[in-house]
Amino acid sequence: MAVGGEMEKEFESKLRLQQQQQQQGKKQQAMQRANSIAFRAPQEQFTIDDFELGKMYGTGSYSKVVRAKKKDTGNIYALKIMDKKFITKENKIQYVKLERIVLDQLDHPGIIRLFFTFQDTYSLYMALESCEGGELFDQIIRKGRLSEDEARFYAAEVVDILEYLHGLGLIHRDIKPENLLLTSDGHIKLADFGSVKPTKDTPLTVLPDSTVERACTFVGTAAYIPPEVLNSCPATYGNDLWALGCTLFQMLSGSSPFKDASEWLIFQRIMARDLHFPDYFSDEARDLIDQLLDVDPTKRPGWSSYTSLKGHPFFRGIDWGNLRHIPAPKLVSESNENEEEEEQEAQWNLTHGASGGTGSGTGVGSSTGTGSNQQAPSTPNGGNHGSGAASSSDAYSHLSRLASIDSFDSRWQEFLEPGEAIVMISKLKKIQKLTNKKVQLLLTDKPKLICVDPSKMQAKCNIIWSDDPNCLSVQLTSPSHFKICTPKKVISFEDSKERAAQWKMAIEALQNRRFN
Ligand SMILES: Nc1ncnc2c1ncn2[C@@H]1O[C@H](COP(=O)(O)OP(=O)(O)OP(=O)(O)O)[C@@H](O)[C@H]1O
């Protein structure tokens, strides 16, 4: 009996080994298949010198996107540039590969097209269809909030895109106004497939393992994450439907429904479904958002079929078959921005700058001391929002390698010395006790912090650089608010794109550059 038991064990372990080997073989075959896919968008042998680089379209957590003109053809692209070392270190290789392979197979007027890719020693490049109208996010900021007709139009285009994606077994997982780009004639194109999740039923060619359901993989952006994902449930189409509800709320009100001072507080509000509708929302808008933000994902319209979503009274009058031919809402360009804010610019005054008041009422932790004791806000999986998860040495090499790209916007050259490059640049609000003022904050590799009044193109408040954190430090007060503290003054800034943690990381990485 004992011998029989031994034999049985041995047999079982041999069987397991055999099964493992077979599985590995299958995996290798799938890998080979994925590696040998004939891409629609070819891998070219181009170099960055084949392009004339223009303005910076945007910065993601592991990429920069720059407007680029191919010198020989004159064609314009949005060139997504990713630092190889950084994405390897941050374990993002699978995400980048998946974005490439999925985008390559998509064909919908509402999804940005990938034309070709190339690489050099340091970077990977994706040449994307250029969206000249900017982000929907900026339209919301510039208009304050959208009219119900405008929001209906954009929401309908997003529904049309989601119906296509979900029909192909893909969950986008990062639907938000920053990833809804606009063509020059104002139609929506969905970008950023870095978080895409193929389901088991997808007919597309995807990477082996990418369809495996994993609980607890937090991707996306805090304010748009559904409660079930915070409760560790695997991703479903319900993620995108919830995010659509948040986006529609944001279009109509000007801010996301669960907005709060920190990611922790945002998560608390999502879990409690702490949702308040402004009075001016129509009954139809309120009802649709209420249904999309149902805590039960299976009850969200669009879950089992798109008929209920497209047939909702909010969308009455939408010609679904003709969406891309309907005239889109008028785009508001940067120069037409809120006159009121421009009015507030009159009082540029360093003594006000020293006051350190947060002004907007969203900041927490009102300390104005010079110590930098506040942590960057973290996502639940421990990573920082944005690129904050990198160590300072990685961050420094990443920043310095990408520095030259930021400097291509020639408008800021007059503030730089020869050879000096911009490491980070953002349009911010400088928060003062009585007034707020739009500024362009530049961090250079010298290092230097330069605050420019963009309406007059003049360098303003003098922030004296120091590598000593007692003499220069950054305090985060919320994902969008930070303070630059020097012994003489504390200046508060608001970054509407919530890159406060990235500013802190960039400044600290430069302070630590000597040790790297
Ligand atoms: N095709 C495009 N045309 C114009 N601008 C673009 C385009 N693609 C991206 N951008 C701009 O660049 C920004 C960053 O791009 P993207 O979101 O793809 O980067 P990412 O590193 O994947 O970002 P994330 O941190 O959201 O994952 C976008 O928010 C947008 O403003």
Active-site residues, by number, are 174
- 240 CB less than 6 Å from ligand 1? no
Highest-confidence range of 81-95, 220-234, 283-297, by mean pLDDT? 283-297
Residue 413 has pLDDT above 60, yes or no: yes
pLDDT of residue 179: 95
- 128 CB less than 6 Å from ligand 1? yes
Q: In a 3-state reduction of DSSP, which class is residue 43?
A: strand
More confident residue, 309 or 411: 309
pLDDT of residue 395: 56
Strands (E), 11-70: 51-59, 64-70
Protein residue whose Cα sits closest to atom 6 of ligand 1 = 57
Q: Which whole-number Å values give the CA distances from 10 to 16, 23, 368, in the listed order? A: 10, 20, 68
Provide the percentage of residues in the chain whose pLDDT is more than 70.
75
pLDDT of residue 348: 22
What is the band of 382 on the pLDDT scale with cuts at 50, 70, 90? Answer: very low
More confident residue, 413 or 352: 413
Residue 324 has pLDDT above 60, yes or no: yes
Rounded average pLDDT over 64-92: 93
Q: Exposed (0-12), middle (13-18) or buried (19+): which is 339, by Cβ within 10 Å?
A: exposed
pLDDT of residue 12: 53
Rounded average pLDDT over 35-41: 73
pLDDT of residue 398: 55
* Distance between CA atoms of residues 446 and 325, nearest Å: 50
- Give the distance (Å) from ligand 1 centre to CA of residue 161: 17
Residue 23 has pLDDT above 70, yes or no: no
Closest CA to 160 of 289, 351, 265, 302: 302
Average pLDDT, rounded, for the chain: 80
List the single range of 22-26, 39-43, 122-126, 158-162 with lowest mean pLDDT: 22-26
pLDDT of residue 220: 74
Are the C-beta atoms of 56 and 79 separated by less than 8 Å?
no
- 190 CB less than 6 Å from ligand 1? no
Closest CA to 212 of 30, 339, 363: 30
More confident residue, 70 or 63: 70
- 61 CB less than 6 Å from ligand 1? yes
The three-state DSSP-derived secondary structure of 264-317 is HHHHHHHHCCCCCCCCCCCHHHHHHHHHHCCCCHHHCCCCCCCHHHHCCHHHCC
Vertex 185, ends 184 and 191: CA angle to 5°? 60
Residue 214 has pLDDT above 60, yes or no: no
pLDDT of residue 322: 96
Protein residue whose Cα sits closest to atom 30 of ligand 1 = 58
Are the C-beta atoms of 421 and 443 separated by less than 8 Å?
no
**CA–centroid distance for 214 within its chain:** 22
pLDDT of residue 388: 36
pLDDT of residue 255: 93
Residue 350 has pLDDT above 80, yes or no: no
End-to-end CA distance of the chain: 65
Rounded average pLDDT over 377-396: 41
Substitution site in 65, 218, 221 for ligand 1 pocket (most atoms within 8 Å of beta carbon):
65
- 192 CB less than 6 Å from ligand 1? yes
